[in-house]
Amino acid sequence: MSQLRKILHADCDCFFAAVEMRDDPSLRDIPIAIGGSRERRGVIATCNYPARAFGIHSAMPTARALRLCPHLTLLPGYFEKYREVSRQIQAVFHELTPLVEPLSLDEAFLDVTEVEGFRGSATWMARWIKEECHRRTGITVSVGAAPSKFLAKIASDWEKPDGLTVIPPERVDAFVRDLPVKKLHGVGPATGARLDALGIATCADLRELPIDRLLDEFGKFGRRLHELARGIDDRPVRIERERKSVSVETTFDRDLPDLESAATALAPLCAKLEDRLERHGRPPLAGLFVKVRFDDFSLTTLESRGLSPAPESYTRLLEQAWARARRPVRLLGVGVRLLPEDARQQLTLPL
């Protein structure tokens, strides 16, 4: 019988805001947010818990955040400082195990199955991570421990901020049964609404649906729902994450009123993408895409697998994407999908 895995998910609490509050204690009890200015049509990167009490959250337009909380203290963000704190926190993780999969500056999965210290207790390891991160950086970290990545991530969010939740193997079934389906990885607003329409609120409800019905309703994702509702998630902790795309985008200070002005704005983006691809050593490409966000915040992405990454190719994609709404444009992006690593290896195999 294979050994049950022990997975930790560590997640810094409101990370960017936490660093600012650490450096300036006067910010601790007032609503603060890190993000772009209202004048430059920025968005909120993160905010502290006093700000969240007003309904503010990450990815919210700054203008809306300021309407919800007019006395919000808005900070521009000092990302080199955040990266340095992140490096210190990641160093703590690597002292425990080399099997660390960073997801962003402020969170990571750790596979501690083979760790012999702390008598092999994932709970004690999680406590040590929390204590060491706070001692070295002043930042609180919430940690979840479970036999899978999916459950560890849910556990880390269970008692935020400064939480520690452990889901031992013998509790997995009962925990998952009561879990709201909207907590499942990959269930966004659209899938959540469809599950609501089917009368499915918890994983116990989801288990009642045969897999054939789930496949009919949700395609390939139906199989994933079937597995998650039973606590099944065999994804390993990956030390190196494979890059799937390279892209650049920009949000404009003023809406681009028509297709002609959007096409003009495409040229510098294509040049920047070209530079970025050069830095990545010109990896093999699987396709191109253009991303357009309109003035009503609707978003469309158009992809093609048959075009070369030239400015005229992106112009053709932009024309088709813009025709979907024919509205002023607030954000424009261009990018490439990269050929997966295994497919690259197949291309280089000798005949």
CA distance 35 to 28: 17
Write the DSSP symbol of residue 351.
Answer: -
Q: Is 159 helix (H, G, I), strand (E, B) or coil?
A: coil
Ligand-binding site membership of 24 (annotated): no
Radius of gyration of the CA atoms of the chain, in A: 23
Write the DSSP symbol of residue 25.
Answer: G
Strands 32-35 and 44-47: antiparallel
Ligand-binding site membership of 106 (annotated): yes
Which residues are catalytically annotated? 107
**Nearest CA among 322, 219, 193 for reference residue 265:** 322
Mention every residue, 6+ apart, whose C-beta is less than 8 A from residue 121. none
Mention every residue, 6+ apart, whose C-beta is less than 8 A from residue 131. none
168 preceded by a cis bond (ω within 30 of 0): no
CA distance 244 to 339: 8
Write the DSSP symbol of residue 180.
Answer: B
Mention every residue, 6+ apart, whose C-beta is less than 8 A from residue 255. 295, 328, 329, 330
Q: Is 199 helix (H, G, I), strand (E, B) or coil?
A: coil
CA distance 14 to 49: 8
Residues placed in the known binding site: 11, 106
Residues placed in the known binding site for Mg(2+): 11, 106
